[in-house]
Chain A
Amino acid sequence: MAERERMLTPPRGGVFVARAQVMTAEDVRRVLTRIAHEIAERNHGLEDLVLVGLQTGGVPIARRLAGLIHETQGADVPVGSLDVAFYRDDIGLRPVLPEAVTDIPWDLTGQTVVLVDDVLFTGRTVRAALNALSDYGRARAVQLAVMVDRGHRELPVRPDYVGKNLPTRRDEMVDVSEDGVLLGDVVAR
């Protein structure tokens, strides 16, 4: 979410042109398995734990993490999805529309929430997500898992689980998918 949104403007639209592949599909799989272990290790018992993926990039990653936790630990961790469009601090400054309806059908009071996103950049999306989560109840703790931390933080946000630390320039873009992680630029159409 974070990444896509920032790059949608300006220019509207635009084409992502990849320059380098920094992770392969196999790298992604291995990193996710590690993070699944780390989550299980840190939250022993996995009780009262929920994963919440940020729309849209974090949602498939959260689902995969839940699957890996089930495989390795035999525990079923609920997965929700969260769209932070209504909580952003740049509302009115740039086009912001929700990508999908938020789906968190539980009261989060007393739960441990692992927020999951594809790329951590300025930290503003995570700030918005923390606000949004508070409207679903008072979580016992919130942790943050990201596939890529590319730096350039503008807010005091630090991830608990990181797939890869990737130094970037501000104007670059990172694309995360099942097929791997690409680094490139957005070019006006």
Chain B
Amino acid sequence: MNVTLPEVAETADTRHLLSVADLGRSGIEEVLRLTDSFVEVSERTIPRVPALRGRTVATLFFEDSTRTRLSFEAAAKRLSADTMTFSAASSSLNKGESLRDTVETVTAMGADALIVRHRSAGVPWQVASWVPAAVINAGDGWHEHPTQALLDCYTVRQALVARGADGAIDGMRVGIVGDVKHSRVARSGVLAWSALGADVTLIAPPTLLPPSLAGWPVRVSHDLDAVLPDLDVVYLLRIQAERMTEALLPSLREYTAVYGLTRRRAELLGKDAVVMHPGPMNRGVEIAAEVAELPCSVITRQVSNGVAVRMAVLFLLLGSGLDA
């Protein structure tokens, strides 16, 4: 009698997480499956496992984002990794040190993984080409924010499972509303949602859409009221005040009137629809304050799942042995 042992799953890029595209559908599903285990860890009295003992994870935030940095640091600590924190504000970058010197210095101090956030698109790719450490993109300019997309998909899957479905995202209708053009969350989100089989619609004024959508597996609408009743997921993007000065929008008031999830619009939502936002929210602009508190809002779950998803990513890159 012969027994065939299971193959160990391989991810597309086992050394870095730069883009959602590195993962593909199977990689995303692997992260989501592993996240289940880390959600269990996070719910324990002592939410910590020794998996990455002796490993060092450095957060290199050249652009401030306290919540994302804290989420990664919590993930690393719950895996028992040592953490190092670099933030541009307090760094030698102000003394003229180059990006490459900074990155090489931190790596020389023994960092096994670098969590990189930068206001410029592509910096995590450059960093990955300079040092041997694993690089995780924690947001690069307008480009990508892969762990945000993963935690968003996980949160929707969790909501589906909670109501008795199997958690499959295939065929779901996801609407991403707002400033897609300047949004790394939207770019990673489109890749992740569509890889998992969802049907993505971008809803925004033309000035807040990328100049070309060639090759994007999306539909476009400029009429939120028309598409809202058909959406399973309404994903609101943060609108930034400086967009006004760039002649992209006349005023925040007009934006809210046409593209904001107001209380009135929330009544158009289907009964199982969920509302998401990557944070930080501008209450009263892209989302009405009371809508954020409705049961259909999973915004708080997104934050708590963020730690578990990031544990899964760190474990896959540093601890699973799949990088060997």
Contact residues of A with B, CB < 8 Å? 4, 7-9, 12-18, 83, 85-87, 90-98, 100-103, 107, 131-132, 135-137, 175, 182, 186
B137-157 at interface with A (beta carbon < 8 Å): none
Across the two chains, which residue of chain A brings its CB closest to B52? A91
Contacts of B251 in A (CB 8 A): none
The answer, yes or no, to whether B282 is at the interface (CB within 8 Å) is no
Q: Can you offer 7 A-B residue contacts whose CB atoms are under 8 A?
A: A92-B321, A92-B324, A95-B8, A96-B319, A97-B320, A107-B45, A135-B44
Segment from B34-42, B160-168, B179-187, B211-219 that makes contact with A: B34-42
Complex partner residue of A16 from B2, B51, B318, B322, CB under 8 angstroms:
B2
Top 5 closest A-B pairs, CB basis? Answer: A86-B49, A86-B51, A95-B321, A16-B3, A95-B8
Contact A13 B7 (CB under 8 A): yes
A131 to B48 Cα, complex, angstroms: 11
Residue-wise, chain B 24-37 has the 8 Å CB interface mask toward A (1 for contact) of: 00000000001011
If A18-B1, A94-B321, A102-B37 touch, whether A86 touches B7 (CB-CB below 8 Å) is no
Contacts of B55 in A (CB 8 A): 92
19 other A-B residue contacts (CB within 8 Å) besides A93-B324, A135-B49: A4-B5, A9-B8, A13-B6, A15-B4, A17-B2, A18-B3, A86-B41, A86-B51, A86-B79, A86-B315, A90-B321, A91-B52, A91-B321, A93-B321, A95-B8, A95-B320, A96-B319, A97-B8, A98-B34
A115 to B10 Cα, complex, angstroms: 31
Contact B44 A92 (CB under 8 A): no
Contact B52 A101 (CB under 8 A): no
The answer, yes or no, to whether B247 is at the interface (CB within 8 Å) is no
If A12-B8, A86-B41, A102-B40 touch, whether A94 touches B3 (CB-CB below 8 Å) is no
Contact A96 B4 (CB under 8 A): no
B47-86 at interface with A (beta carbon < 8 Å): 48-52, 55, 79
Contacts of B109 in A (CB 8 A): none
Contact A87 B49 (CB under 8 A): yes
A100 to B324 Cα, complex, angstroms: 23
CB distance from A53 to the nearest CB of B (A): 16
Contacts of B34 in A (CB 8 A): 97-98
Complex partner residue of B5 from A18, A102, A186, CB under 8 angstroms:
A186
A101 to B41 Cα, complex, angstroms: 9
A182 to B52 Cα, complex, angstroms: 35
